[in-house]
Amino acid sequence: MKDASPAKPYALHLGVIALLFALSFVLPDYHHGLLARIMVLAVFAMGYNMLFGYVGLLSLGHAMFFAAGLYGAGLAVIHLGWSVPTAFASGVVCGAVLSLVIGVLALRTSGVAFMIVTMMFAQVFYLVILYFASWTGGDQGMVVPQPARVLTFGATSLDLTNPIVRYMSALTLFSVVLLITLAVVRSRYGRVLVAIRENEERTKMLGYDTFSNKLAAVIMSGTICAASGAAYALLFGYVGSSFASVQYSILPLLWVLLGGGATTLGPLIGTLFMYYVVDITSGYTSAYLLIVGIALILLVLFFPKGILGTIRHRWLAWLP
């Protein structure tokens, strides 16, 4: 891999963030709201990409990390009356702890067993949410009340239900995670992760502790996903068990595959593209799962590198 000057990628990423910022003032209401949601879900995809794209570990259970953040934040607001920042922190911490536990257990396996184990842990998490329906609301879910979703700094208060505030909060989270991802990927540690993906045995032989490197990646990935879940609960005010179901473990995989695994901007592009495809087709048919299924098969058959992966392969080798 050729090491290009750091200026170009950073300029590109800051450009993307600036573009998203500018879009806030020109988009019509409907797309404005949709884009805020897409940015939060793109954070979920970026967290997934950290593990799947860079380390090559295919997890089928990331919905549990998203849901850990979602419930960690949502339940703290609903049952404990915590304020927005502490609830967000609570969601992130829940995700970090859960990913530590899951990482220690699941990383004992590899390949197909890793996929099945993560899927089963996520299923347990989902069933636990249903089992404790009196606190979690079961499959009905719960609404986070509007008065609780206000961010107060001394005298000024920001209402997260206000579209502009919501968009900017989503953009802030998205930007922070994007820049963190970029920094991690370009660091020495990021190179070690890619080395593990390409040849774990050789990396081990070169003296790297692959287990703790992978564990750190699982925790980072799980924590980012939890941050996305916590933001979703606070910004959109709904906490429900469907976000913990298998489907929400598959969706980030689809978004990352579509946008391009192991590219920093791929998750955003994949989420954006898929969200609009589903949004447009749902105007004609309710069969959006059919489109998800066909997209998965076509991608894996003909486009295993995704959109950005192909662009990088053909034209822009410096793309991070």
Partner 1 sequence: MHFGPHLLLAALEGFVTSAVLALTALGLSLVFGVMRVVNVAHGEFFMLGAVLAWAISTAISGHPALGFLAALVLAPLIVGAIALVAERLVLRRLNYNPEATIVATIGMLYIIQQLALTFYGPEARPVEPPFSYRILLPWFGYSGYKLSIIAASAFLLLATWFVLTRTKIGLVMRATQYDSETAQAFGIPVDRVYAGVFALGAMLAAVAAVLIVPISQAHYLMGQDPLLLSFIVVIIGGLGSLRGTLVAAVLIGLSDGIISVFFSPTLAKIIATLLVAMVLVFRPQGLFGTASR
Which residues of this protein are in contact with partner 1, per CB under 8 A?
A: 58, 60, 105-106, 108-109, 111-113, 115-117, 120-121, 123-124, 127-128, 130-131, 250, 253, 257, 287, 289-290, 292-297, 299-301, 304
CB of 6 to partner 1, least distance (A): 32
Label residues 229-247 b or e (16+ Cβ within 10 Å = b): bbbbbbbbbbbbbebbbee
Nearer to partner 1, 33 or 56 (CB): 56
Integer Cα distance of 222 and 62 in angstroms: 7
Nearer to partner 1, 130 or 206 (CB): 130
Q: Which helix (H) or strand (E) holds 152?
A: strand 150-153
Which residue has 């749902």 as its token pair? 282
CB of 299 to partner 1, least distance (A): 8
Nearer to partner 1, 148 or 257 (CB): 257
Integer Cα distance of 249 and 232 in angstroms: 16
Nearer to partner 1, 108 or 202 (CB): 108
Integer Cα distance of 113 and 57 in angstroms: 11
264 exposure class (CB count in 10 Å sphere: 0-12, 13-18, 19+): buried
CB of 240 to partner 1, least distance (A): 17
Nearer to partner 1, 121 or 167 (CB): 121
Nearer to partner 1, 213 or 249 (CB): 249
CB of 241 to partner 1, least distance (A): 12
Give the CA distances from residue 170 to residues 35, 53, 76, 90, 295, in Å, rounded to whole numbers and listed in that order: 9, 23, 20, 18, 27
Integer Cα distance of 307 and 299 in angstroms: 10
CB of 106 to partner 1, least distance (A): 7
Structure tokens at 205: 């032989």
DSSP state of 54: I
Nearer to partner 1, 82 or 273 (CB): 273
DSSP state of 50: I
CB of 309 to partner 1, least distance (A): 15
Structure tokens at 314: 């053909």
CB of 280 to partner 1, least distance (A): 17
Give the CA distances from residue 279 to residues 30, 34, 271, in Å, rounded to whole numbers and listed in that order: 11, 10, 12
